[in-house]
Every structure is written in C-alpha cells, then in structure tokens.
Amino acid sequence: MAERTADSLVELFNSLFAGSLNTVLLRGDDEPIYLPADETDSRHRVIFAHGFFASALHEISHWCIAGTERRKLVDFGYWYKPDGRTSAEQREFEKVEIKPQALEWMLSEAAGHKFHFSADNLGSDIGASPEFKCNVLKQVQSYLQDGIPDRPQQLIRSFQQHYGTEPLTPERFSLEGK
C-alpha cells in the first residue's frame, strides 16, 4: 500500500490535470488559495496550506465543484469570512460547504485518510452543526446513487488504485463517531 503523503497527492492530481486542464496542485506556506492562470504563471494553481494532506483534499474538492467560469476567478470568486463568524454567518458558510465537504469525504475515503468535518471557524466555539453533518452525508449518498462528477471520479479512481483502497459504497459513510 502506498504511503499517504501530500507529495503523493500532488503527483496524482498533477498527472491527471496538469496536461488536460492546465491545473496543478501545489504545496503552500500559508493560507490555501486557488489562483487562475495569469501573467505570472500560465497554469491554474490549487494551493493548499502548509503541506497538510487534509488541506490538499479540501482545496481539491472546491476545485472539483467550481465550473469553468469560476475557475477563471481567484478563489473561484467565493464569499469567505474568516474566523469569528456569527451563528447566522456560520449557517451561510455551511450551505456552500455541503458539496465540497461531501466530495472531500469521498476523496478522503478513496485515499484511506480520516475525514473531519470543517467548520473553519477557529475564532469561535461554533463547530460543524449536526444538520450540516447530516446534509453532507445526504450529499455523499446522492453522489453515490446518482453519479459522481467526472473530475472527482477520476481522482477517486486514481486514489483507490494508488492507495489500494476499496470501492466507495454507502456503508462506508456514517455519522457515527463524527
């Protein structure tokens, strides 16, 4: 079984998308960000934080959700409010995080890596709500039943082959212990 490292994720992602979609996964030194091709670099760049495996999976999942037009915008043009969100702001954050975190969970399973829900709100004691967790699980089940979009499906297959993990089935996903 292959070692689960950020470098292995970079190699797998880049082997799939550097040529076909001119997009590379890069280890960053600071906060994660997506940068479209520009005058400084002809490639689109998914940059994850501090070499963390989980950060790479999370940023990849956002890239998988973003359509062609959003992939032309810095950070896909998404709204983002940093730590210290109010309850209302956290609910809004959770609405836009359902699909990315569902894909992140699936990518994590395919890579044999433990998934953790992210409230991304360290400056507050507001964590991922039970409703959010249920909605993410429902989205995972929907992807498994109705079909996984092409880019994440390519990654899932690549991860399963590289890391030697089993096919994704509904039984592998549960909120027990989450």
Q: What is the pLDDT of residues 84-129, one digit of tens each?
A: 667 777 777 788 899 999 999 999 999 999 999 986 644 555 567 8
The percent of residues above 90 in pLDDT, for the chain, comes to 76
Residue at which a domain ends, from 53, 77, 101: 77
Is residue 93 domain-shared with residue 73, that is, in the same domain?
A: no
H or E stretch covering 27: strand 23-27
**Enclosing domain of residue 165:** 87-172
| Domain total in the chain | 2
Amino acid at 63: W
Pair type for strands 23-27 and 44-48: parallel
Is residue 11 domain-shared with residue 32, that is, in the same domain?
A: yes
In a domain, 178, yes or no: no
Amino acid at 171: E
pTM beyond 0.85, yes or no = yes
